[in-house]
Amino acid sequence: MEGITLALQLKDKVRGQIYADEPMCRHTSFHIGGPADVLVIPEDIPDLLELIRLLSDLQAPFYVIGAGTNLLVKDEGIRGVVIKIANTLSHINRLGDGILRCGAGALLPSVCKNAALAGLSGLEFAGGIPGTVGGAVAMNASAFGGFMAEIVDTVEVITYDGQQVRLGRDDLEAGTKTTRILLEPLILVEVDFALKQDDPERVRKRMEKYFRERAHRQPLNLPSAGCAFKNPTGEGAGRFIDAAELKGVRIGGAEVSRLHANFIVNNGGATAEDVISLMKHVQEVVYSKFQVMLEPEVRILGG
């Protein structure tokens, strides 16, 4: 079904924002990606439930994204509907006993700032990770030895057939940059973080330290999707890429960052094909030199 036809079918029943043939380069930190047939930002949870019901009736495939900071969308775009949970479901509420309740669409930097102001400790490691709470928990985002899943108390999810379920931390079955939310898949709508009361000034200082390290190590001035590859057990992927002398190698507009070897940056006009070719090249060279097969961390959508 064409994007505009599908969008018109949703228009009268969905209250959120609906875009037909929406370029995904507008919704990814890489600034890369062809059009999604339809992109919807639901207004609230009932709107999301109604949207899923309609899509099921129409037999239209759908994909859930957050702020698109870990995504590479192919140049051909995405057939079906992208449900974007960012700039919506973005509440942040302190419940007492160290519980911080956040909508999946809340931006992680805002959540971390909120926690620091309240003297709630546990999120310091995540202060500079871009994207939403939903994306961070679904991916079990990590930095400086901290992992998102470890500070989750419970989450609220919606199954693809429209059931609302609350899950505990262990139910997430978190692994390296993955959880049950990605594998099943489920739609994450709310997260309760279990944090510890501390002195606000001490929390702020620890968070700032991680911010400074990040700014020093990562190419934050160029579009990217963070680390391109998962770290193989016990070693950083970047060490292998660096040792293979791949820093600065370029295909089209995509380049292996000279600052952080595990970042592929969009140096201007990169296509998804450029990035995918560069990732394959990196995998081949690293494998031929070290017999280590690097696994993509960036989630590739569409095509």
**CA nearest neighbour of 48 among 129, 102, 113, 105:** 105
- State the Cα–Cα distance between residues 23 and 33, nearest whole angstrom: 7
Q: Which two tokens stand for residue 115?
A: 């926690």
From the CB of 137, what's the least distance to ligand FAD, in Å? 8
- State the Cα–Cα distance between residues 290 and 51, nearest whole angstrom: 48
Q: Which is nearer to ligand FAD, 9 or 226 (CB)?
A: 226
From the CB of 85, what's the least distance to ligand FAD, in Å? 4
Give the bridge partners for 193, in sequence order: 100, 152
From the CB of 36, what's the least distance to ligand FAD, in Å? 13
Are 51 and 57 a contacting pair, CB within 8 Å? Answer: no
From the CB of 197, what's the least distance to ligand FAD, in Å? 25
Q: Which is nearer to ligand FAD, 119 or 208 (CB)?
A: 208
Q: Which is nearer to ligand FAD, 219 or 252 (CB)?
A: 219
Q: Which is nearer to ligand FAD, 35 or 68 (CB)?
A: 68
From the CB of 226, what's the least distance to ligand FAD, in Å? 3
**CA nearest neighbour of 84 among 64, 102, 103:** 64
Q: Which is nearer to ligand FAD, 9 or 50 (CB)?
A: 50
Residues that bind ligand FAD (CB under 6 A): 29, 64-71, 85, 104, 129-132, 134-136, 138-139, 141-143, 181-182, 187-188, 218, 220, 224-226, 299
Give the bridge partners for 296, in sequence order: 229
From the CB of 238, what's the least distance to ligand FAD, in Å? 12
| DSSP characters over 33-90 | --EEEEEEE-SSHHHHHHHHHHHHHHT--EEEESSSTTEEE-TT-EEEEEEE-SSSS-
Q: Which is nearer to ligand FAD, 39 or 65 (CB)?
A: 65
